[in-house]
Structure 1
Amino acid sequence: MRDPLAFLAGGGEAARMIRERDWTGHPLGQPETWPAEFRAALSLVLNSPESMILAWGPDLHFFFNDTYFPLLGPRLAWAMGERFDVVWADALDQARPIIADALAGRAKRFVDLPWTLDTDRGQRETWWSFSYSRVLDADGDVAGLFIVTNETTARVLGDAALRESEEHFRQTVELNPQVPWTCDPDGNITSYSNRWLELTGQAPGEPDGSGWLAALHPDDVPETLRVFGNALASGEPIDVDYRLRLARTDAYRWMRARARPRRNEAGAIVRWYGVVEDIHDRKLAEAALRELNRTLERRVEEALLQRKLWAEVFETTDALVGALGTDFRILAANRAWIAEFEALFGVRPRVGDDLRDLLAHAPELLAPLQAIWERALAGEAFTLMEAFGDPDRKRPCYELKFTTLRDADGRRIGAFQYAQDISERLRAQERLARAEEALRHAQKIEAVGQLTGGVAHDFNNLLTIIRSSVEFLQRPDLAEERRARYLTAVSDTVDRAAKLTSQLLSFARRQALKPEILDVGERLRGVTEMLNAVTGARIRILTRVPDGPCHVRADPSQFETAVVNLMVNARDAMDGEGTLTLRLARGAHLPSIRGHAAAMGPFAMLSVTDEGTGIPPDLMDRIFEPFFTTKEVGKGTGLGLSQVIGFAKQSGGDVDVASTVGRGTTFTLYLPQVEAPESEVLRPAREPGAPGAERSLCVLVVEDNLEVGRFCTQLLEDLGHATVWAHNAEAALAEMAHGSARFDAVFSDVVMPGMGGVALARRMAVEHPGLPVILTTGYSDALARDDTHGFDLVRKPYSTGQIANALRNALARPR
């Protein structure tokens, strides 16, 4: 029997409220009798994910969907079916003209309209974006009012807070007596505070690029440009002094410009941040100090005048300033130097005193102090940090600067010391360093623990299969059928262990990739049958691939593995049933992902979208961790997404993810897009029975591991080849020197003490260009970083067939 309330299907809690309400005596009558236009419009509202209202009839009776519940507050329990003016009595004055316009056919949309409402969060100021439009019946008469509404309070308040924060930052910058500034990697000024314009009188925009140089003293421009140029080229911090013309007085004043670079993930400089500070007074003090030195160098006998000059220059500074003659007598000192000397050594010095006499009673204090002064009095200018005194005084560490004093004739007559207490700065640096080291250590321990635990678990499972199979194979009475079964199990388990190692290396971006330029769309169309087998018959795969080519440079095997891993995850998220969409786009930009900088591209963008359960927000930061999985035990290693992100990163791209719990997930793989190759003619595959493939060869085996070396030479001899085994690259070169003509090929490990396999192969290519070289490794950082080494590679663990094919292909290639 047909359900007269079928139009309420999918309406959720709101539909339940309609079904359960007693409509007896209601102006609209029973729901079974409602007009078709009303039921159709109400079904649309109830099933919409947007917050919607339908007001029906001349009295505008009020209906709403589940998404609208939070807006009603205390009205929720009784509002369904009531008149609009009853439900929103407190907002009717504001709503009445809007309703009138909508019913008259003048539909309007309002954005961020303020409204005081009593919601489920209590009465408060709120903001809304909504639209009112009328609903017509079959005769074209006005039957009701359709309202789509969306609360924008959070965004409005957030925008206001952002504007307040930006204004706070702007005021902070503008009130800073220093001049903050930025420039691009080429040194072009991009921003500065108004303080620069006030100082120089330049107009807004005039300092941009290199326009700021116009405000500098002409004599200082060449040196300033030299310092800037060197820093921009080396990436070292900028630090330069120059004179700046002040608009207020038209005089020049000394400034110090400093800047440090900000780098992106790849280490490239993206911007420089700097400040300009006024150091004119310090320059004057330094000039006065130089003048004082000249005075001291002219006449040591003018002690009274010297003390007067020292008092004028140094008694206003917190620094400790003192001078000794070549006979270790005190020539001058400010009050701070004298007071600190007395506090540290227990004796008060005076001008004319011999430093050695002052500390004769404490040779353990005199010895280090005298050693430092002897360097300065010998004419050395230097800066050092030394700790003095009792650490409990909390002022034990000083930065000491020493320079030479000379008389008018250039003779060395002493040295002066300029000391500043830097104890608190050093302690702060030490605390920060300890905190950072503790954090790094904790992160390393956690990562190593998780990684080793996962590796141990998976490899122990694989070793269990191998060990049990070997024990059965050792039985003399084992049936041939079971012997073959155990041998197959051992072979399959070794393949699985090699795949696990490959996934680990891919995650660590140390997999030795073999990239080539491939058309992603063509590759996807080619693996469609395999993808259908992976996902199963109950999953429908929609593939959206553009008509034109889309080329990337990547390892085809690793690319297909990444696609399969994403498809398997999507299949499992949908419990094996649903629609899976595979979409490819060209020329995309790489967005900012997980805090990394965006890139303009172009990038090939491959997305895999499922209709599954989605990923909870608290797990989003962990899904790419190795061995992390939410699947049941035995249904996943937790290395699938690790392989995907490792492959993407090592190929110059990245992986993004967007998910809504209960609605599905989209993984998007970005790979740098490249131009199509000039020629896509592939080298014809070599048949196993190519001419000369089965002849006996003499192979130089280079392997430092004794067990692997014995196994490899035995394997080659079982294939009918002769071998000479060198335990390292140096021994291999010696064998070649004794007679290279006897060898048909070289089979070398990559990772060896001393010279590595890649270096050996390159030297062989130079000295013996006609000799094929085949490399082998289980892992090599050199191969992971250099995929263009140009030599054939056999990955460990290798099989007899792989070595035979490698030799066959190497010998078949034209020399």
Structure 2
Amino acid sequence: MPMIITDPRQHDNPIIFVNDAFCRLTGYDRTDIVGHNCRFLQGPKTDPDDVTRIRNAVAARERIEIAIYNYRKDGTPFWNQLLLAPVKDAKGEVAYFFASQYDVTSDFAQVARLQGENAVLAAKQADSTERLHASQERLKTIVNTIDTGFAIVEVRFDTDDRPLDYRFLEANPAFERQAGVNLRGKWVTEFAPDLERFWFETYGHVALTGEPANFENYAAAFGRWFDVRAIRVGDPADRQIAIFFNDVTGRKHAEQELLKLNETLEQQVHERTQERDRLWRNTQDIQVVIDGRGVFQAVNPAFTVILGWTAEDVLGRTVFEFIVPADEGLTNQALQHARVHSLPTVENRYRHKEGGFRWISWVAAPEGELIYASGRHITAEKDQAEALRLAEEALRQSQKMEAVGQLTGGLAHDFNNLLAGISGSLELMQTRMQQGRLTDVDRYMTAAQGAAKRAAALTHRLLAFSRRQTLDPRPTDVNRLVSGMQELIQRTVGPAIAVEVVGTTGAWPALVDPPQLENALLNLCINARDAMPDGGSIIIETANKWMDERAARQHDMPEGQYLSICVTDTGTGMPPEIVARVFEPFFTTKPIGEGTGLGLSMIYGFAQQSGGQVRVYSEVGQGTTVCIYLPRHYGEVAEDEGMNPVTDLPRSEQGETVLIVDDEPTVRMLVSDILEDLGYTAIEAGDSAAGLKVLQSDVRIDLLVTDVGLPGGMNGRQMADAARVARPDLNVLFITGYAENAILGNGHLAPGMAVLTKPFAIETMAARIRSMIEGGKGNKRS
């Protein structure tokens, strides 16, 4: 039986199933049929009214049986006996339409021809019995060869016109095949005594009224479904009907299987929905649904358990109302990403309803206009990580203090040696002066000064390691600084080592303390010299470096622009285990007495405090490269003006006064003597209280020279700031033997302020005092 199934729920009611018999009937392949509307069967002679009736039946979800003129794929027409019936789902709604088709072209042609012949015979009444017999035989042949069951039935009624029985006057082979019995001449009650009353009532109604009947019904006596069309024929008094009969049991079974399949699918969907609901309710992870603007649409119970907020608290509000403000930028970026793509793990902090916050690790994916997100509570892991970090920091500090403790004796030995040289030289100077032997005084004075300078250098290295030296960062042309040191470095490393400077064109300025950078560069070159006992070469190279996120992470430094200064040697190189320790304080590979182990530690501390980084690259037998990365300065660099020696400085103008505040009398005496030599008036104060009293008086003060660490209730910076309330143009020179960098503003001093580190040369102090007073006059004039 040719048959198809269509889906009226889809646009244009497309065919979703077709059997082989339909393909044979129409000549089309299954790929030509599935997904298309039945209109491809229509042609030039198809009656539009028939098409309209079919469409109306589909729209009304009603059954229809109709003969319609259709066309095969090769263009040949045929009369199609179409039965179109709705198929309902478990809810009683039409899910599909089932259609069976029969080619009844020959039936229509023969019937038309017979009708024409009978009309001619009736008109002429001259047709012979033989021709009538032949015509009947042809009709019989047609009826006996069609696949549709056909029968002529006589209905028997009681005196009240109630149908009692019916018998088959004629039945073609197709009818008998489908019924399964020989029916001709038999009353139904003879072979199917239990047949349902429906059949009797329906056929009786057709025979009495002449109203055709089209129906499908199950005949229990035969165990089959039948599709039936019944019409009254002949004289109404004869109570005879013609029946077109089709066994549709296979199609009904297919419909039932389809219905079972739908029920199974619905059950699976229901079970999956229940499973999802159970997971939503019972999981310990947060589950939320938000829209593209971050507005909560749904939250699961775990949301309330972890964060305290109920669904009523959050639905209709955005996520940004509940996260920690510092995480809003990160969360907004994640939301923009999750609108289009699955979101990799992102962590942020949500405020708890009762105070505090909780760390949540999220994954999310978009689905339509919504975003489905799952969050894991990781506050405990974060707390553990922080505790671990603090423990590691404490361990590092402990190790550092242990290293310092282990070497305290060595440092004490070095300082005692230096102090012995200084004190011994002074005592001998005093003795020789008392003896009048002044020719030896210069020798002892030189020894004392040398020992004092070595002690100061050792102190600076220790402060650099602890990142406590006082820095005076200024915009610096590093190419110019390195070129200016090339001759000094060459003399220091000796003629056996070639020194080459490669300055990149267009090098960025760096924000750095120039003397400290010079010191670090000289230390690196001395280390390189020591790694090449048989000679070699040193290359000092500058370069502009842009550290993106990945490079910055590898170098353990902030992302941004840096100037690099790299010192490369052709020496012996170092294995990885030595490279890993080169920045440790007091670690050295040199023999005892030839190195303190503070050189690279000092450079490391200096680079870190300057906002940069230092990295070592080395391979045994291939040499070593040490690179210092310094933050780029955005701006111009002033030309070097140099520093004139004290003998070239102009003397003080009449009345210029300097206030010296220091709790060390020796320092006050030294600075006062320098000022008197230059013609200044010097006023001394031993603490911040006495100094501020002078500053708040009407005494003329052209420059304040003060220690940073002072007794009297205020430090030097606080005293200077208090004095500037009444004296806004006051110039201040801070002198310090320690690096109270936080007190001084972490290297960012206000205009008119400068810093000088103890111990200092007299010439340096004199030049700095003169330059600041001259600069102060220029500021006042401007």
What's the TM-score, normalizing by structure 2? 0.50
What's the TM-score, normalizing by structure 1? 0.48
